[in-house]
């Protein structure tokens, strides 16, 4: 069975370590916060200027001066810090964030990612996505393996305008956990009940399959 959005988030959360500073993008990446193991402390970075993002507020604690990068009202956890946008991107560009999780339209076997613009549709802007992919050493991309017509989004070469070139190393889809190295995707894990052949069928890129590929465990 293909993973649900929450299961993708659960699998990403397994990559988190105690003491990590983590930036989560909009969509599936946001769900990762729900699956951080209880015995671990993680500080969430929000690029509009908050380290230590907490849950949504109550009617009583809501504060228009405290939002996340998606412009939602949030709270701050114990030990949080506020800072300017320049400081925030110094953290990101300087490689101080331990893990960045973001979504994508396409990724390719050179590690390039397209996530901000579809020609012909209104361009709203890249926000902080280009800075995040350029700055972070440790990035996990969460995305669907193919579009609803079965056209692969795991490509030899991205077709959409890039967010970043040669910067992505790990991708988790509803079917597979893959690593990008030496100009190819390497299959690390399968979603439970999904065969290597099914993954290959929906992967346009070169896919290296070494030996038995284990199923993900939750």
Instruction: Please give the positions annotated as active site.
Output: 47
Q: Is 96 helix (H, G, I), strand (E, B) or coil?
A: coil
Beta bridge partners of 22: 44, 99
Point out which residues bind other proteins (CB under 8 A).
46-50, 55-59, 62-74, 76, 82-86, 88-89, 92-93, 112, 122-131, 134-135, 161-166
Q: How far is the CB of 181 from other proteins (least distance, A)?
A: 17
Nearer to other proteins, 158 or 171 (CB): 158
**Quick one: CA torsion of 37, 218, 26, 152, rounded to 10 degrees?**
160
Q: How far is the CB of 215 from other proteins (least distance, A)?
A: 32
Beta bridge partners of 187: 178
∠ CA 186-200-209, nearest 5°, is 35
Q: How far apart are CA 100 and CA 140, in angstroms?
A: 6
Q: How far is the CB of 212 from other proteins (least distance, A)?
A: 36
Q: How far is the CB of 45 from other proteins (least distance, A)?
A: 12
50-53 and 42-46 beta bridge pairing: antiparallel
Nearer to other proteins, 83 or 218 (CB): 83
Q: How far apart are CA 216 and CA 214, in angstroms?
A: 7
Nearer to other proteins, 139 or 176 (CB): 139
Nearer to other proteins, 93 or 213 (CB): 93
Q: How far is CA 171 from the centre of its chain?
A: 8
**90 CB-near residues (< 8 Å, 6+ apart):** 96
């Amino acid at each position: 069975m293909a993973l649900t959005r929450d299961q993708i988030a659960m699998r990403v959360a397994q990559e988190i370590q105690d003491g990590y500073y983590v930036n989560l993008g909009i969509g599936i990446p946001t769900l990762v916060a729900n699956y951080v193991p209880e015995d671990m402390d993680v500080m969430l970075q929000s690029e509009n200027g908050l380290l230590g993002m907490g849950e949504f507020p109550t009617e009583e604690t809501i504060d228009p001066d405290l939002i996340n990068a998606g412009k939602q009202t949030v709270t701050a956890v114990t030990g949080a810090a506020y800072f300017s946008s320049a400081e925030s991107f110094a953290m990101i560009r300087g490689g101080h964030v331990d893990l960045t999780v973001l979504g994508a339209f396409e990724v390719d076997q050179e590690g390039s990612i397209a996530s901000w613009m579809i020609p012909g549709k209104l361009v709203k802007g890249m926000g902080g996505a280009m800075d995040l992919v350029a700055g972070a050493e440790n990035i996990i991309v969460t995305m669907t393996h193919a579009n609803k017509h079965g056209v692969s989004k795991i490509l030899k070469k991205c077709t959409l305008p890039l967010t970043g070139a040669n910067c992505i190393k790990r991708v988790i889809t509803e079917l597979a956990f893959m690593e990008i190295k030496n100009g190819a995707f390497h299959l690390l894990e399968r979603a439970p009940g999904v065969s290597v052949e099914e993954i290959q069928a929906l992967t346009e890129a070169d896919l290296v399959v070494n030996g038995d590929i284990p199923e993900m465990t939750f």
